[in-house]
Amino acid sequence: MRVNLANIHYNPAVQTRSLCIFSFLGPLFLSLAANPQASGQTQTQSATQSEQNPPVQINYLNVCTPSDHEKDEIAATLGLVPNPPKLVTDFEIARGQSSLENAESARYVRLRREFPADSKFSTVQYSISNNGRNTTETLVLTARDVRELRQISIEDSISSGVASVNALLTVDTPASRIKVERFGKSSVGLSRCQGADQSKYDAIFSKASSLIASYRRSFSLRSMLSAELKWLAASPSAASTSTRKGAPTRPK
């Protein structure tokens, strides 16, 4: 059978639309045909850029007036701390001096103890530091199962002009800061803040103060750290000055 092409009529609109589509997509098809890896490279570049520039998430820690849920979690964590502490006989003592840029030099003494294997906590570290102006005590307890809790820290601070290092160990200084670090979650904390109504946190501050006082007595710090505390009581700035003055000079 012979078909007469002259009798076949085309729709001008369809023909025009087809030509327009071809004219638009034609160069793209030709480009992909010439470089079949272009599409894959584009996806790879996008993935690489996403890896190099991951999304940044910032969590703000409200330490002056934490929410009721955070307050309850801090209180519950403090309730887990053994009091009085039951510790094994092993211990470690370290001392040193820290100097950071744009910060005052400070001396510190650290005492590390361990809990029995059946305790919810593995270690406890007590540290006391002095920068010549303030003396700070910090008690840090590390949990044995970090999936439930990483650690809890309690801190107090007092002006060095108000009390000496030895005097600080004889009084129960109120806790000024509590921080709870959780695995896979943001930390929660509570600090003393001037001008903020913190009356509903009084029980938490009282509990934290009694804990750090109890551990201070259990550690017998004045006898165990007697030599380190004498060294700590010297002002870091005065110590560095005396070192420079006492340094031998070269003969001319």
Domain membership of residue 20 (yes or no) is: no
CB atoms closer than 10 angstroms to residue 41: 10
Distance, CA of 235 to CA of 232 (rounded, Å): 8
Spatial contact of 181 and 152, defined as CB atoms under 8 Å apart: yes
Residue 237's contacts (CB-CB under 8 Å, 6 or more residues apart) are 104, 105, 132
Q: What is the pLDDT of residue 163?
A: 76
Beta bridge partners of 155: 138, 177
Domain count across the chain:
1
Distance, CA of 73 to CA of 46 (rounded, Å): 42
CB atoms closer than 10 angstroms to residue 123: 18
Distance, CA of 140 to CA of 153 (rounded, Å): 4
Structure-token match 């006898």, residue found: 223
Q: What is the pLDDT of residue 235?
A: 60
Spatial contact of 38 and 31, defined as CB atoms under 8 Å apart: yes
Domain membership of residue 124 (yes or no) is: yes
- Residue span of the structural domain in which 209 resides: 70-234
Spatial contact of 162 and 252, defined as CB atoms under 8 Å apart: no
Q: How far apart are the first and last CA of the chain?
A: 122
Distance, CA of 77 to CA of 153 (rounded, Å): 11
Backbone φ, ψ for residue 114 (5° rounding)? -120, 150
Q: What is the pLDDT of residue 165?
A: 82
Cα separation values, 150 from 3, 145, 204, 236, Å: 86, 8, 19, 32
pLDDT tens digits along 99-148: 877 777 889 999 999 999 999 999 999 999 988 888 999 999 999 998 88
Amino acid, res. 133: R
- Sheet of 91-98, strands arranged across: 91-98, 106-114, 121-130, 134-143, 151-159, 177-181, 188-191
pTM attached to this predicted model: 0.70
Q: What is the pLDDT of residue 239?
A: 44
Domain membership of residue 134 (yes or no) is: yes
Closest to 75 in 3D by CA, of 196, 189, 157: 189
Domain membership of residue 56 (yes or no) is: no
Q: What is the pLDDT of residue 103?
A: 73
Domain membership of residue 244 (yes or no) is: no
Domain membership of residue 206 (yes or no) is: yes
**What is the DSSP pairing of strand 106-114 with strand 177-181?**
unpaired
Domain membership of residue 46 (yes or no) is: no
Residues of the chain with pLDDT under 50: 3-25, 29, 32, 38, 238-252
Domain membership of residue 248 (yes or no) is: no
